[in-house]
Structure 1
Amino acid sequence: MKLSIYQIDAFTDKLFGGNPAAIVPLEEWLPDATLLAVAAENNLAETGFYVPTENGFHIRWFTPTVEVDLCGHATLAAAYVIFNIKKYDGQRIRFESRSGELIVDCMDNWLTLNFPVDQFQVAVPPPALVESIHSVTMLEVYKGRSDYLVVLDSEQEVLDLDLDIIILSTIPARGIIVTAPGNDVDFVSRFFAPQSGIDEDPVTGSAHTTLIPYWAERLSKNRLTAKQLSKRGGFLKCELDGDRVYIGGQAKLYLEGEILVD
């Protein structure tokens, strides 16, 4: 069986930036073991698969080791494929997913995700987190549905952070978000998820379902700009709207081809 595959750099306006995701459109679902094997073979942070439905599309996301409940950059990448390569007729896509309905709007080369906000609360940092982040002071720590959120004092502290990934991988969570006020944007972040097979994710849309409500309340503003300070880097336009967040970014096509699946 031949399947089309596309690799998209998401949350960037230039190649080799942002977060690369592989997207494989399907007409019907293949066995889970096959989907995971394709994701492992791609060896990217996320591979997204989608199938058409009566009202839009059903989307699923896989790291090289597990299926995840929500992925922002691979959703953005899938929307890029549907809008720009498959020539979808319209400016809004609705995805069914394990995290409920997800909406993506397309306007002026920007793709905007409409995701549910995360629910998070003040948390006591687990010992492994304290041991990993021992070189700087954690001002605040929160626990969301799947991630810990750690607030630091400055952008430079986030940029310079050097974590012990082995220790970090023992924390019972999908990953760790580290954030601080930005110098030329409202906030910056980095995201570490060795528990999910990703030491550091270049740009993490789903983490912004936690970051946006936190910074909107702290800065008393609903519209925000953000950067993720990975080596590849990424820029996001963000907005809080009640129990939903808007996460805007651009994307670039890097690769298109075919894969052979037995």
Structure 2
Amino acid sequence: MSLLFGVDAFTDRPFAGNPAAVCVLASPADPAWMQALAAEMNLSETAFLWPEGSAWRLRWFTPRVEVDLCGHATLASAHVLWRHLERSEPRLVFETRSGRLFATREGERIGLDFPAPAAVAATLPDEIAAALGGARPVWSGRAEDDWIVVLESAAAVRTLAPDPGRLARAPARGVVVTARDESGAYDVVSRFFAPAVGVDEDPVTGSAHARMARYWAGVLGRDRLRAYQASPRGGALELELRGDRVLLWGRAVTVWSGRVTAALG
């Protein structure tokens, strides 16, 4: 049997932020079994972790595919290790398909040390613009396998109604739509759409913020930013840019816990 937890990430209260399932294993499992469990969970991500030397191997699955990077499920995994497995180390090390990642904590806050790739300006493909309802970006570019689309206002981000079917055919993992927050409550707002990997709209996306951190730091002229992902559930993050890496700060809340009784593959 394996331990299984349901955690809401990037929030300080249950039923908000981004839910992830975290499955703690004693040793590696068959990827087909992990994919089947992720489909059973039917959340944007299910994380699987097991000890590997002094670190933890961490893999992430949507209901349809394994992905290279997921911020909220990493935050949820760190929360589980510190809160429920009573790990005492001040910094957790995760070995992943995106390289070595780190988690630190300050009280109830958890900081994820992620790579922050530069976003390269590029003309938004017509199929993505059409899927976004003909949105006209102030700026667009690509960071790794995501497109970043900057709109003229936070209101335009909040009211956007994309076509998931058309976006699923776009040449990208997902699309980050973002803008400055004119209200002053946050520095930036965003939404993230990734129907190509089975997630029409993700509630709160750490990896998307890592990929737009350098863009917004350059535009706003500072390395510390307050961000809000304006999905129906919503969630808040703090970004702390450190060269080509970024600390993503957030909180997490456990909603349920149990055990997986189905045999490992």
Contact 1:111 1:248 in 2 (8 A): yes
Partner-residue secondary structure (3-state), 2:206: coil
Partner-residue secondary structure (3-state), 1:206: helix
User: Is there any run of 5+ residues in structure 2 with no aligned partner, and where?
Assistant: none
TM-score normalized with structure 2 length: 0.97
Aligned partners of 2:35 and 2:135: how far apart in 1?
37
The Cα of 1:135 is off from its aligned counterpart by 4.8
- Is 2:178 the partner of 1:179? yes
Aligned partners of 2:68 and 2:118: how far apart in 1?
15
Aligned partners of 2:257 and 2:117: how far apart in 1?
33
CA RMSD in angstroms, aligned pairs only: 0.9
- Match of 1:107? 106
Contact 2:119 2:214 in 1 (8 A): no
Aligned partners of 2:77 and 2:211: how far apart in 1?
22
Aligned partners of 1:236 and 1:133: how far apart in 2?
25
Aligned partners of 1:78 and 1:120: how far apart in 2?
27
Aligned partners of 1:101 and 1:133: how far apart in 2?
34
- Match of 2:80? 81
- Match of 2:70? 71
Letter in structure 1 aligned against 2:193: F
Contact 1:51 1:59 in 2 (8 A): yes
- Match of 2:36? 37
**After TM superposition, which residue ranges in structure 1, 4 or more long, deviate above 4 angstroms?**
none
- Match of 2:241? 240
- Match of 1:201? 202
The Cα of 1:239 is off from its aligned counterpart by 0.8
Letter in structure 1 aligned against 2:25: L
Contact 1:19 1:203 in 2 (8 A): yes
Contact 1:104 1:113 in 2 (8 A): yes
Aligned partners of 2:116 and 2:44: how far apart in 1?
22
The 5 Å alignment of 1:197-236 reads: 197-236=198-237
Letter in structure 2 aligned against 1:20: P
User: Is there any run of 5+ residues in structure 1 with no aligned partner, and where?
Assistant: none
Partner-residue secondary structure (3-state), 1:101: strand
Contact 2:129 2:136 in 1 (8 A): no
Aligned partners of 2:209 and 2:257: how far apart in 1?
28
Partner-residue secondary structure (3-state), 2:217: helix
Contact 2:69 2:207 in 1 (8 A): yes
The Cα of 1:209 is off from its aligned counterpart by 1.2
Q: What is the aligned residue count?
A: 261
Letter in structure 1 aligned against 2:27: E
Contact 1:224 1:239 in 2 (8 A): yes
Aligned partners of 2:142 and 2:135: how far apart in 1?
19
Contact 1:187 1:227 in 2 (8 A): yes
Aligned partners of 1:188 and 1:197: how far apart in 2?
23
Aligned partners of 1:32 and 1:119: how far apart in 2?
31
The Cα of 1:129 is off from its aligned counterpart by 1.0
TM-score normalized with structure 1 length: 0.98
Indicate the percent of aligned positions where both proteins have the same amino acid. Answer: 43
